[in-house]
Homo-oligomer: A and B are copies of this chain.
Amino acid sequence: MEQPYVIGIDIGGQTAKSGVVNARGEVLAQTIMVSNKHTDAESFVDALASTIKKLIADADIEGQVRGIGVGAPNGNYYTGEIKDAPNLSWAHEKDVPFAKMLSEAMGGLAVSLTNDANAAAVGEMTYGAAKGLKHFIMITLGTGVGSGIVIDGQVLYGHDGFAGELGHTCAVRGGRLCGCGKQGCLEAYCSAIGVARTAVEWLDQHPDEPSLLRLRENITSKDVYEAAKAGDQAAKEVFDYTGTLLGRSFADFIAFSAPEAIVLFGGLARAKEFLYDPIFAAMNDNVLPLWKNKVKLLFSSLSESDAAILGASALAWNL
């Protein structure tokens, strides 16, 4: 008998990763395409469909694919739409009926869509650091700051499917302008871009302090990480500040859903050695006494692309 497969897709601001997943949750083949060159949804969906068709052909599994699961910023599980995602060049300031469009481009194959952070939470719960946990909050630290909230083993979607936008809760009242149009969002400080902005601000505010970062023209979060690893004090202070803001926010999130753990995921989560201590301290300084030192702070144990692809693929098995 022929084995069944699903396709899991993780769409981010820079790239879209697709993978073939078998029933045991193994990613058998994967591919990557850039996602920030398209200015309209039609051309992006067409390019993605071509990529997936090639992936299926190369894996020699035509006719055995059950469905496609997609995780994307502002992806709505209920409606299959991507709603005005500031980080996606082709879905900015409009609603895109993404699941329907991709299904049509794939000859009618069933497509299920959710928020990228929700997909990562499902992946992490099924295969990663959150295995066995029923109440946790997944925070994705990437281009943006996303979240997937799991309650009693289920992703929280809320009334309209958009629950879990914790990157757009307020971290600094009246603070930096965020890509969403609001001021002071957690995302404006604790995303990869936010960390780079903090580094630039730090250098401006400390003109007499030396730092390896002064040698860089356009500072990225990766530069900050590498400088911190090389012992740069400025870079370490940038991570301290980032971690403190994250920990303070996590304390408020804990008061909401009383999770067993906060799970960190995404590119910036690789800086665990510099982020863990300030996050843990700020989180425990700001929770009610009943939660002090009781909520775990975990870092994803899955490779970044695997978690999101696996999480998205889990949706497809239910189609």
Interface residues of A (CB under 8 A from B): 74, 83-84, 134-135, 149, 151, 156-166, 168-170, 173, 180-182, 248, 251-253, 255-260, 286, 288-291, 294
- Nearest CB in chain B: distance from A275 CB, A: 20
Residues from chain B with a CB closer than 8 A to the CB of A84 are 289-290
Contact (Cβ within 8 A) B255 A289: no
Contact (Cβ within 8 A) A252 B170: yes
Contact (Cβ within 8 A) B151 A158: yes
Contact (Cβ within 8 A) A258 B170: no
Given contacts A173-B173, A252-B170, A256-B166, contact A288 B182 (CB under 8 A): yes
Contact (Cβ within 8 A) B258 A256: no
Once the chains are docked, how many angstroms separate the CA of A149 from the CA of B257?
9
Once the chains are docked, how many angstroms separate the CA of A74 from the CA of B258?
13
Once the chains are docked, how many angstroms separate the CA of A127 from the CA of B149?
29
Which residue from B164, B256, B289, B291 sits with its C-beta under 8 Å from A181? B289
Residues from chain B with a CB closer than 8 A to the CB of A253 are 256
Given contacts A170-B251, A252-B170, contact A83 B290 (CB under 8 A): yes
Contact (Cβ within 8 A) B290 A169: no
Contact (Cβ within 8 A) A158 B135: yes
Contact (Cβ within 8 A) A165 B259: no
Once the chains are docked, how many angstroms separate the CA of A135 from the CA of B259?
19
State the copy count for this chain: 2
Contact (Cβ within 8 A) A169 B252: yes
Residues from chain B with a CB closer than 8 A to the CB of A259 are 158-159
- Nearest CB in chain B: distance from A313 CB, A: 25
Residues from chain B with a CB closer than 8 A to the CB of A170 are 248, 251-252, 286
Contact (Cβ within 8 A) B159 A135: yes
6 A-B pairs closest in CB distance: A158-B258, A163-B258, A135-B159, A169-B252, A165-B255, A159-B260
Contact (Cβ within 8 A) B182 A256: no
Residues from chain B with a CB closer than 8 A to the CB of A286 are 170, 182
- Nearest CB in chain B: distance from A154 CB, A: 9
Contact (Cβ within 8 A) A258 B162: yes
Other contacts beyond A135-B159, A157-B258, A166-B255: 16, CB < 8 A:
A160-B258, A161-B258, A162-B258, A162-B290, A162-B291, A165-B258, A165-B288, A168-B288, A169-B251, A169-B255, A169-B256, A170-B286, A173-B248, A180-B289, A182-B286, A256-B256
- Nearest CB in chain B: distance from A188 CB, A: 13
Residues from chain B with a CB closer than 8 A to the CB of A168 are 255, 288
Once the chains are docked, how many angstroms separate the CA of A181 from the CA of B83?
41
- Nearest CB in chain B: distance from A157 CB, A: 7
Which residue from B252, B256, B294 sits with its C-beta under 8 Å from A257? B256
Residues from chain B with a CB closer than 8 A to the CB of A173 are 173, 248
